[in-house]
């Protein structure tokens, strides 16, 4: 997974859309996503999606998975396990409850709610009153007016049953429903007793069903924008939005927009209210080799809790270097493409996290160490470990009442007991770029280092200390081997032989990298590729067909290709391993309580039924991604490839759509 993907997940990166109007420079025709007109400009995340007939093959694939799951009887087994731990009265109560809700549940046309067109929006709001939320979100789906009216009544009936159930447990008035009509919008709200807080609201406006969470205002704002009324501006008027989508290709299936400042700004402000303001800026170690003292009075007089809250606010501010993230998605044949643009804030370079993330690019010669036989590979610019280390030290100093003393003791241990300096002897060696290569069962990891000799010495010292801990009888065995003219250390242990490992792993330095390989053959192949004696992955016909080639001259932040043609088999193997582990664990629980024994005895048969379900997920082919960075903007292109549906006779003959001439069999 690339760093951009990880940050997008960390930042809750979803996506967004806009109002129906002429296409912008990027080519997206927003009239194909008419509900984007309902997205307020103050949201931090918005996603718009619509039905695309080109993706019917995916619906068919997942329908087979769902059918296999329900036919497996897994849910019956799970219910039987749960029922065994209940009394007869409890079982009867749950079954009656299930019957009521199941009937109401099936009256909702779930496939129509958001299948034709939908938007999801979320925004941060300042808490008001004792019962309030910092977040409110909404889902809007479009269908025909008759279906919208029928689904509204069915959803309302479901909420009514929830109220009845709550009253049986908590007494009358525990929950209540409130329905009102606002012009041509009808809304029913689920509320906690007399409190004026909207837990869930369901609205009906013409051919639209709207569902909001933790508040009703965002729903009414969306409907007002659809009506063309109100003072709120639509997101389409946001200049950042226009700029983002002008740089992207046309969206067909989905588009999204995420504004980190709109999300993390309010969170940080609330935390500062409790933490007493923002602490000192962390980051790089100042010149002269001394630790940054920050603002000595920043935490003076505060409680420990206030210092922690203030520090969390500071970290949120530091990581908020992303101004906006936008993306589009489209389907081409049996491949789903995504392109994302991530722009940093104007003052991003002042944040310590800029120096941590904006390291040396992976380079244009990403394939230098990646052999033609690679089934999966990943090259990334990585992170600056030294700057991250100093940032962590600053946080400890700020948040801990005796942080400075703790760091001084830590430094003493490094010098007197460990006989090393983590920063100079380890972190400073790594320059950032990393490479991972998998060739069937063989794998290689490579880390760019600044000093090969120092890296080798650190590895040797590490293994010596490890053997001191293991003792002579369990010590690792080391053998020096020559790989393409470089000295590597082969690692073996009696337990490896017992486990059937006939080709020991090895570690060493070559070509400016610390290299860890599953065996000598895999490392040899990578080094021969780097020397020009073996073809690289660009000669792999499958990568050329299914992967994403960067343009000439692009500064590559990361690039990857993943073979997913054996996804189903790998899932089945994983399920088998878990089932076996649970079985062994159950054998050693003779003294455990009966309900614990029953759990460990009941899980393996259930997992066994998941095997055929996993087998239905044999429609993934491969995925690829390439990300570039120009100092202010990340541009990411990704593709998810699926297998083309084929007649059963072809599958039985063992034909694999991923096989290409010239590839070495794993």
Residue 570: inside a domain, yes or no? no
Q: DSSP assignment, residue 40?
A: B
Q: Is the pLDDT of residue 10 over 70?
A: no
Q: How many domains does the chain have?
A: 3
Q: What is the mean pLDDT of residues 267-280?
A: 67
Say whether both 198 and 316 belong to one domain.
no
Say whether both 119 and 226 belong to one domain.
yes
Residue 480: inside a domain, yes or no? yes
Residue 651: inside a domain, yes or no? no
Residues sharing a CB contact under 8 Å with residue 89, sequence separation 6 or more, in sequence order: none
Q: Where are the beta strands (DSSP E) in 78-159?
A: 117-124, 135-142
Residue 327, classed as helix, strand or coil, is: strand
Question: What's the pLDDT at 402?
Answer: 81
State the burial class of residue 241 (Cβ atoms within 10 Å of its Cβ: 0-12, 13-18, 19+). Answer: buried
Residue 391: φ, ψ to 5°? -65, -45
> Which stretch, 66-75, 120-129, 280-289, has highest mean pLDDT?
66-75
Question: What's the pLDDT at 596?
Answer: 78
Give the C-alpha separation, 526 to 518, whole Å.
Answer: 12
Say whether both 44 and 128 belong to one domain.
yes
Say whether both 172 and 305 belong to one domain.
no
C-alpha angle 38/189/231, rounded to 5°? 30
Q: Is the pLDDT of residue 543 over 90?
A: yes
pLDDT digits 0-9 by tens, 460-488: 988 888 888 888 888 888 999 999 999 99
Say whether both 52 and 111 belong to one domain.
yes
Query: What's the pTM value of the predicted model, to 2 decimals?
Result: 0.84
77: closest CA among 608, 571, 597, 576? 608
Give the C-alpha separation, 652 to 356, whole Å.
Answer: 51
Say whether both 233 and 277 belong to one domain.
no
Of the residues 536, 554, 569, the one at which a domain ends: 536
Inter-residue contact 275 to 307 (CB < 8 Å): yes
Question: What's the pLDDT at 212?
Answer: 96
> Tokens standing for 17?
């859309």
Say whether both 158 and 241 belong to one domain.
yes
Q: What's the chain's length in residues?
A: 666
Q: Which residues pair with 121 in a beta bridge?
A: 46, 138
Per-position DSSP letters for 262-297, written without gaps between them: HHHHHHHHHHHHHHTS------SPPTTSPPP---TT
Say whether both 244 and 312 belong to one domain.
no
Say whether both 294 and 229 belong to one domain.
no
Say whether both 161 and 190 belong to one domain.
yes
Question: What's the pLDDT at 360?
Answer: 66
Residue 586, classed as helix, strand or coil, is: helix
| Domain residue limits at 175 | 3-254
Residue 285: inside a domain, yes or no? yes
Q: Quick one: how many helices (H) and strands (E) in the chain?
A: 20, 20
Inter-residue contact 506 to 489 (CB < 8 Å): yes
Give the C-alpha separation, 14 to 258, whole Å.
Answer: 6
Of 30 and 430, the one with more pLDDT: 430
> Tokens standing for 154?
């069915």
> Tokens standing for 627?
């990300």
Say whether both 123 and 141 belong to one domain.
yes
Question: What's the pLDDT at 637?
Answer: 96
Question: What's the pLDDT at 502?
Answer: 67
Of the residues 222, 254, 286, the one at which a domain ends: 254
> Tokens standing for 394?
């600053």
Of the residues 484, 516, 536, the one at which a domain ends: 536
Residue 90: inside a domain, yes or no? yes
pLDDT digits 0-9 by tens, 119-162: 999 999 877 766 678 899 999 999 999 999 999 999 999 999 99
pLDDT digits 0-9 by tens, 572-631: 999 998 888 888 877 777 777 877 778 888 888 888 999 999 999 999 999 999 999 988
| Residue whose pair of structure tokens reads 């009239």 in the numeric block | 31
Each residue of 415-431: b (16+ CB within 10 Å) or e?
Answer: eeeeeeeebebbbbbbb
298: closest CA among 405, 407, 410, 397? 397
Give the C-alpha separation, 389 to 382, whole Å.
Answer: 14
Residue 479: inside a domain, yes or no? yes
Question: What's the pLDDT at 397?
Answer: 85
Q: Which residues pair with 446 in a beta bridge?
A: 435, 515
Residue 194: inside a domain, yes or no? yes
Q: What is the mean pLDDT of residues 245-271?
A: 91
Question: What's the pLDDT at 130?
Answer: 62
Say whether both 404 and 490 belong to one domain.
yes
Residue 560: inside a domain, yes or no? no
Model confidence at 563, pLDDT cuts 50, 70, 90, reads: very high
pLDDT digits 0-9 by tens, 213-253: 999 999 999 999 999 887 889 998 889 998 999 999 999 99
Each residue of 556-588: b (16+ CB within 10 Å) or e?
Answer: bbbbbbbbbbbbbeebbeebbeebeebeeebee
């Amino acid at each position: 997974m690339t760093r951009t993907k990880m940050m997008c997940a960390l930042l809750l990166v979803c996506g967004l859309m806009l109002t129906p109007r002429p296409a912008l420079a990027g080519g997206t025709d927003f009239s194909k996503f008419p509900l984007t007109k309902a997205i307020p400009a103050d949201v931090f995340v918005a996603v718009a999606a619509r039905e695309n007939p080109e993706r019917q093959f995916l619906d068919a694939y997942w329908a087979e998975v769902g059918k296999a799951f329900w036919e497996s009887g897994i849910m019956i087994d799970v219910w039987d396990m749960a029922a065994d731990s209940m009394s007869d009265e409890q079982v009867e109560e749950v079954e009656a409850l299930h019957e009521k809700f199941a009937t109401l549940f099936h009256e909702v046309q779930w496939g129509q709610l958001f299948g034709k067109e939908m938007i999801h929006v979320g925004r941060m709001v300042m808490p008001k009153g004792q019962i309030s939320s910092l977040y409110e979100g909404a889902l809007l789906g479009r269908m025909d007016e008759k279906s919208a009216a029928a689904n509204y009544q069915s959803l309302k009936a479901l909420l009514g049953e929830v109220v009845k159930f709550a009253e049986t447990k908590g007494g009358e008035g525990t929950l209540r429903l409130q329905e009102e009509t606002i012009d041509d919008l009808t809304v029913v709200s689920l509320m906690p007793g007399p409190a004026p807080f909207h837990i869930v609201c369901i609205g009906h406006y013409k051919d639209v069903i709207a569902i909001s969470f933790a508040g009703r205002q965002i729903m009414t704002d969306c409907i007002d924008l659809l009506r063309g009324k109100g003072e709120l501006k639509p997101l389409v008027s946001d200049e950042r939005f226009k700029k983002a989508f002008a740089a992207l290709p046309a969206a067909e299936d989905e588009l999204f927009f995420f504004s980190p400042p709109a999300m993390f700004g309010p969170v940080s402000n609330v935390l500062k209210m409790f933490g007493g303001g923002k602490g000192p800026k962390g980051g790089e170690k100042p010149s002269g080799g001394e630790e940054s003292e920050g603002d000595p009075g920043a935490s003076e007089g505060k409680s420990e809790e206030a210092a922690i809250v203030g520090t969390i606010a500071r970290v949120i501010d530091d990581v908020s270097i992303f101004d906006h993230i936008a993306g589009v998605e489209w389907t081409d044949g049996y491949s789903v493409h995504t392109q994302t643009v991530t722009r940093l804030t104007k003052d991003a370079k002042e944040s310590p996290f800029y120096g941590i993330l904006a390291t040396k690019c992976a380079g244009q010669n990403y394939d230098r160490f990646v052999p033609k036989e690679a089934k999966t590979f990943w090259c990334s610019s990585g992170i600056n470990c030294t700057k991250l280390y100093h940032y962590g030290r600053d946080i400890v100093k700020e948040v801990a009442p005796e942080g400075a003393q703790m760091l001084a003791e830590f430094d003493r241990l490094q010098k007197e007991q460990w006989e090393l300096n983590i920063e100079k002897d380890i972190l400073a060696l790594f320059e950032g770029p990393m490479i991972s290569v998998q060739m069937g069962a063989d794998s290689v990891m490579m880390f760019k280092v600044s000093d090969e000799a120092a890296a080798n010495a650190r590895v040797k010292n590490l293994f010596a200390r490890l053997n001191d801990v293991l003792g002579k009888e369990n010590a690792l065995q080391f053998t020096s081997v020559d790989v393409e003219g470089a000295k590597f250390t082969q690692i073996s242990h009696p337990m490896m032989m017992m486990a059937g490992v006939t080709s020991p792993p090895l570690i060493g330095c070559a070509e400016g990298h610390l290299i860890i390989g599953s065996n000598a053959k895999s490392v040899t192949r990578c080094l021969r590729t780097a020397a020009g004696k073996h073809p690289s992955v660009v000669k792999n016909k499958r990568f050329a067909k299914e992967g994403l080639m960067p343009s000439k001259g692009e500064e590559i932040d990361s690039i990857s290709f993943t073979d997913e043609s054996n996804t189903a088999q790998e899932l089945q193997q994983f399920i088998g391993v878990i089932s076996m582990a649970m079985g062994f664990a159950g054998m050693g629980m003779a003294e455990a309580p009966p309900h614990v024994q029953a759990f460990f005895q009941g899980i393996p048969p259930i997992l066994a039924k998941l095997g055929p379900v996993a087998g239905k997920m044999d429609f993934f082919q491969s995925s690829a991604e390439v990300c570039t960075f120009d100092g202010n903007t990340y541009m990411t292109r990704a593709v998810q490839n699926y297998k083309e549906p084929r007649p059963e006779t072809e599958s039985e003959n063992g034909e694999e759509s991923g096989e290409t001439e010239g590839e070495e069999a794993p």
